[in-house]
Structure 1
Amino acid sequence: MQTENKFFDDVSKFFNGAAGTVAGMTREAEAGVREKAKEWIGGLEFVSRDEFEAVKAMAAAARDEVDELKTRLAALEAGKK
């Protein structure tokens, strides 16, 4: 035989409602912190990975070109002597 007690039903409903409220507050707090972090990081002017890789490739090409020009200059200087 199962007995029904209104007090326990009310307490159970109260705690279920409180748990739902706390969960909602947690989600809102996480969303707020995430948004603030995005604003803060966005203000630091970080570059994307694609931009970084493009500049890295340009720097490598420039280094190769400088090495080639050094070689050509050394050959020209050697020919003048």
Structure 2
Amino acid sequence: MSTGSNRILDEFAKLLTDAAGAAQGVRREMETAFRAQGERILNTMDVVQREEFEAAREMAVKARAENKVLTARLEALEAKFAEMQGSSFGEAAATAPRKPRSTK
């Protein structure tokens, strides 16, 4: 009888091992399905990927820095021009005739 109960326990252990393996397979398939569904939803929402966002952010930071440099250069040139004119640039610009805007 000892071999009979041992055999039953072995079969039960084998059954549990197979069930655990099947459960892991189902889990992997569910994860794959959820991931694919999530990607589909994100693609329909036009969500930006992290890499694209970081690239655009770096471009904006660089553009801001260049804008500050160009603003400083423009202010220096305006000051130099004002010195050459003997008055402030604002007054010289106010007295200068304006060109008519073109309509397109």
TM-score (norm 2): 0.54
Displacement of 1:63:
4.0
Residues 1-81 of structure 1 aligned to structure 2 (within 5 Å)? 3-4=2-3, 5-43=6-44, 44-47=46-49, 48=52, 49-58=54-63, 60-61=64-65, 63-64=67-68, 67-68=71-72, 71=75, 72=78, 76-78=89-91, 80=92
- Structure 1: any 5+ residue segments left out of the alignment? none
Any runs of at least 4 consecutive aligned residues in structure 1 with deviations exceeding 6 A, and if so which? Answer: none
Superposition RMSD in Å? 3.1
Task: Indicate the SS of the match to 2:47.
Answer: coil
**How far has the Cα of 1:68 moved from its partner?**
4.4
List alignment gaps of at least 5 residues for structure 2. Answer: 83-87, 95-104
Q: CA deviation at 1:77?
A: 1.5
Shift of 1:8: 0.9
TM norm structure 1: 0.65
Identity percentage of aligned residues: 18
Rg (Cα) greater in structure: 2
